[in-house]
Amino acid sequence: MNSHESSETISSNNAKAKETQKLNMKLMNLSKNLETEKEQLIDQNHALQEKIKEQKQELVKVNIEKAATKSKVLHMNDLKNENKSLIEKLSMKQKQVVSMKKENFVKRCNRKLRQLNNKCLTREKKVNKVKQKLKTSKLIKENMKKQPKSVTTELQNMKFIHKATLNKQYSKLNYWKTNAVNRNLKLHKLMVENENLKQNSLNRSKELIMQVNENEQPLVTKENNKYTDDMRTCVMDLQSIDIPINKISNVMKSVGQHLFHECIETPSKTTIQNIADEALFISKHHVAEKIKNAENFGFFF
């Protein structure tokens, strides 16, 4: 009996030892699995942190690009203000040149003013387009805050859009720079033409003075209590070279005293104004007759 009991105890002990070995093996496997899962989780955490850093850097770049676009919009507004000042200068120049007899010069000035106005309108449209693009970028940024999963794709799209807009803006800036240079050259040409007209009128007055000196005839300013045609044309020429109405009579008196040694009877301020109005009416009537007699009437006759 004792031997039988001892054999049973031994077998039971062996079975328990085998079970403990199996349990130890399972524990070892579980510990290994836990370590591998832990390492995987650590790697995933590092990858997520790197993605978050990249997204933050891209957001900073987007903000920088947005600030750059704002500065470009301000530069466009400055160019718009410069264009307005140029238009005002040209309009003032046009008012000074209205009384001149050169109709082609007036037509050219009007044509250039229309072109400048059209360019201003196109520039305003482009500025409005840039503002709309800025609004869309703001909406995209707000959507990025609401949807963090799609941040990367939207940032890439915004990068592409901003690069395209920057390239367009650089090309537009280069175009407007060259356009401003050409406009300055055109203004210089207009100034030169105006100076040439003034010089021609002065030369004409000098020639008339020389002719009077050669003929040695007395100066006649009135016929039948009316000023002569020469007197009227002299008033018109003096007005065309930007001499004020209240100083024309003094200029004529000084010319008569110093060049002809005669005291000229000059018209008053009101008669000079009437002569100027008459010249303006004649020029308008002449333009109306040209339009009426034109065969192919268009925008520029």
Q: Mark whether 121 and 38 lie in a shared domain.
A: yes
Q: 30: which residues sit within 8 A by CB, 6+ positions away?
A: none
User: Structure tokens of 274?
Assistant: 């009437």
| Number of domains comprising the chain | 2
Q: Mark whether 224 and 194 lie in a shared domain.
A: no
How far is the C-alpha of 234 from the C-alpha of 230, rounded, in Å? 6
User: Structure tokens of 140?
Assistant: 């995209």
- Nearest-10 crossing angle of helices 151-215, 229-240: 150
Q: 284: which residues sit within 8 A by CB, 6+ positions away?
A: none
Q: Mark whether 242 and 113 lie in a shared domain.
A: no
pLDDT of amino acid 159: 73
Which of 217, 232, 265 is the C-terminal boundary of a domain? 217
Q: Mark whether 227 and 212 lie in a shared domain.
A: no
Question: 217 phi and psi, to 5 degrees?
Answer: -100, 150
> What range defines the domain where residue 252 resides?
218-301
Judge contact between 236 and 98, C-beta under 8 A.
Answer: no
Judge contact between 62 and 98, C-beta under 8 A.
Answer: no
pLDDT of amino acid 300: 45
How far is the C-alpha of 292 from the C-alpha of 21, rounded, in Å? 120
Which of 166, 183, 217 is the C-terminal boundary of a domain? 217
pLDDT of amino acid 296: 56
Q: Mark whether 116 and 65 lie in a shared domain.
A: yes
Which of 176, 197, 217 is the C-terminal boundary of a domain? 217
Q: Mark whether 224 and 211 lie in a shared domain.
A: no
pLDDT of amino acid 194: 79
Q: Mark whether 222 and 78 lie in a shared domain.
A: no
pLDDT of amino acid 148: 55
Q: Mark whether 184 and 252 lie in a shared domain.
A: no
**H, E, C per residue of the chain:** CHHHHHHHHHHHHHHHHHHHHHHHHHHHHHHHHHHHHHHHHHHHHHHHHHHHHHHHHHHHHHHHHHHHHHHHHHHHHHHHHHHHHHHHHHHHHHHHHCCCCCHHHHHHHHHHHHHHHHHHHHHHHHHHHHHHHHHHHHHHHHHHHHCHHHHHHHHHHHHHHHHHHHHHHHHHHHHHHHHHHHHHHHHHHHHHHHHHHHHHHHHHHHHHHHHHHHHCCCCCCEECCEECHHHHHHHHHHHHCCCCHHHHHHHHHHHHHHHHCCCCCCCCHHHHHHHHHHHHHHHHHHHHHHHHHCCCCCCCC
Q: Is 100 exposed, middle or buried (0-12, 13-18, 19+ CB in 10 A)?
A: buried
Q: Mark whether 83 and 137 lie in a shared domain.
A: yes
Tens-level pLDDT at each residue, the chain (301 residues): 556 666 777 777 777 777 888 888 888 888 888 888 888 888 888 888 888 888 888 888 888 888 888 888 888 888 888 878 888 887 777 776 665 555 666 677 778 778 887 887 888 888 878 878 887 877 777 766 665 555 567 667 777 787 788 777 777 777 887 877 887 788 888 888 878 887 887 787 777 777 766 655 566 777 777 888 888 888 888 888 888 888 888 888 888 888 777 777 888 888 888 888 887 787 777 777 777 776 655 544 4
Q: Which residues pair with 255 in a beta bridge?
A: none
Q: What is the pTM of this model?
A: 0.29
Are β-strands 222-223 and 226-227 bridged in parallel, bridged antiparallel, or unpaired? Answer: antiparallel
